[in-house]
Amino acid sequence: MKELGVGLVYVQGFENFLASHSSLVDVVEIEPQSFWYDKNDECNAFKYDPEITNFLWALEQPKLFHCVGFPIGGTFSPPQEQFNTLKQQAKELSPEWISEHLSFNFFNDGNKAVNAGFLLPPIQSTESIKIAAANIRNYQSQMNLPFAFETGVNYLQPRKNEMPDGLFVRSVAEEADCHILLDLHNILTNQRNGRQSVKEFLDLIPYERVIELHVGGGMYYKNYYLDAHSGASDTELLSILESVVKKLPNLKALIFEMAPDYLIKIPEREIRDQLIKMHRIWDKRGNEYKKKDTRQKKHNYDESIPVNEWETTIGKLILGKNPENTLSKKLQKDKGIAIIKDLVFNFRGSMLISLLKLSTRLLRLTIGELAFNHYINDFFYSFTPELLPVILAEQFLAYIKAKKITDKIRYLEEILEYELAAIHNAIDKQGRSVLFDFDPVPVLAALNNAQLPSAQLNRELHIINIPASANELPEFVPVVHN
């Protein structure tokens, strides 16, 4: 495998930075599912944005695939359309290797697969190790690429006699005979929230299997430190990074992650300085490598909870449903569950607001934030998360109509139909016409300015034509990425 160097995870908005700082970016990591926007029923695959693909293809840097849709830590295997799409994208962009998270995001609810909308921590048991290893072998056989799994964030407190985090990671890598993507910010996040220390974690993992490192920035929320990808790495993380890099004999890439929401908030010089520091550290890779014995004395860890029960219980809890079993009662005492519930709610809410900006703005201005949040809570309780955000928008329109909210708020149904038409138009490039019984121009202008539209007394029919080329796809992000 090639030594690729220092790079970053590509998100829409990084185009100018890549053009002006190409000397600092040796490799570009791509999250392929972030460009998927619809099912392609004709060929059992997903549709993805060709313009972004063409842009990435034209970049001179080598590419990596970092998947964010179907993690390898759970009992639900990725559907075949995921691999069909990944294989097509890999054919076009030629990634050097592929990675996914040691997490799960689907759970079984009455023989129905439910998307939790978040990357959740698997139970750290022998059964879970075998499940993860089988999923990794499936990725390897389907993609015919080197594979690495990412060490994840876990906001839950360690359970009594639980297998240590580092031992779980090592056991999965050895059982699957695969590489490790060591996310140092995730491990530091775990330490700051009361889990295994970074030092103890690193002492347990096989350095020889680490081919890639991730670093980023975070923030505090309700006394929890979040892996928010919110900016440059702090001094503590950079110090850990420098120490670890020297010990890794097979390190091939060092990647910086930042979420799209923070691109406009973080000065460009901070990103530039981050990459410069990473280059200086990269040059020290492997300088102090010594083979270590990571074997532990035999110990019987808690194996009492089946993987299926763990997944279903946590999945239901974070979506506001109580499975009423012994495990649920124990987990509800863990403040981390409430944190994850908040993160899922905020993520789904921000996605809904970005998709239906004008409709949700009209709702908030008319009924107030308290009532708006009540409706959103009820909507999220009624509908589980979806991989494709366009489905979220369709569900919200159906919910608003079913609750007869459109009967009470002037303009709401038409604005919802207009925004949903624009989304579908961006997907299929068909062009659409939307019928209004009022003049939409002043209404849309007022909402764009975050103002409540004035009432129109005369009802006249107006038509807005949305040309096929008028819309760009929203920035769809299918999962919370941690």
Q: Which domains does the chain have, with CATH numbers?
A: 5-282 (3.20.20.150), 359-466 (no CATH)
Which pLDDT score, from 0 to 100, does residue 459 have? 64
How does DSSP assign 11-28, residue by residue? -TT-HHHHHH-GGG-SEE
Residue 375 sits at the vertex; the CA angle it makes with 416 and 325, to the nearest 5 degrees, is: 130
pLDDT digits (tens, 9 = 90+) for 84-134: 999 999 999 999 999 999 999 999 988 889 999 899 999 999 999 999 999
> How high is the pLDDT of residue 476?
43
Q: How far is CA 125 from CA 118, 378, 392, 478, in A?
A: 21, 35, 34, 28
Query: Would you call 408 exposed, middle or buried from its count of C-beta atoms within 10 A (0-12, 13-18, 19+)?
Result: exposed
Residues of the chain with pLDDT under 50: 473, 475-481
Q: 343: part of which helix (H) or strand (E)?
A: helix 335-355
CA distances from 274 to 7, 23, 151, 383 (A): 11, 14, 22, 40
User: What does the pLDDT read at residue 216?
Assistant: 97
Question: What is the reported pLDDT for 324?
Answer: 86
- The one-letter amino acid code at 186 reads N
- At 196 the pLDDT is 98
Q: What is the pLDDT of residue 412?
A: 94
pLDDT, tens digit (0-9, with 9 covering 90-100), for 378-422: 999 999 998 888 899 999 999 999 999 999 999 999 999 999 999
pLDDT, residue 429, reads 77
**What is d(CA 319, CA 83) in angstroms, rounded to the nearest whole number?**
28
Distances (CA, A) of 33 to 61, 81, 395, 441, 456: 20, 12, 21, 35, 43
Angstrom distance (rounded) from CA 260 to CA 369:
25
What integer pLDDT is reported at residue 134 of this predicted model? 98
Which pLDDT score is estimated for 477?
Answer: 43
Q: Strands of 133-290 (E only): list them.
A: 147-150, 179-183, 210-215, 219-221, 224-226, 253-256
Model pTM score: 0.91
The total number of residues shown for the chain amounts to: 482
DSSP label at residue 182: E
- Alpha helices (runs of H) in 219-319, residue ranges in sequence order: 235-245, 268-282, 307-318
Q: Is 67 exposed, middle or buried (0-12, 13-18, 19+ CB in 10 A)?
A: buried
* Amino acid, res. 184: L
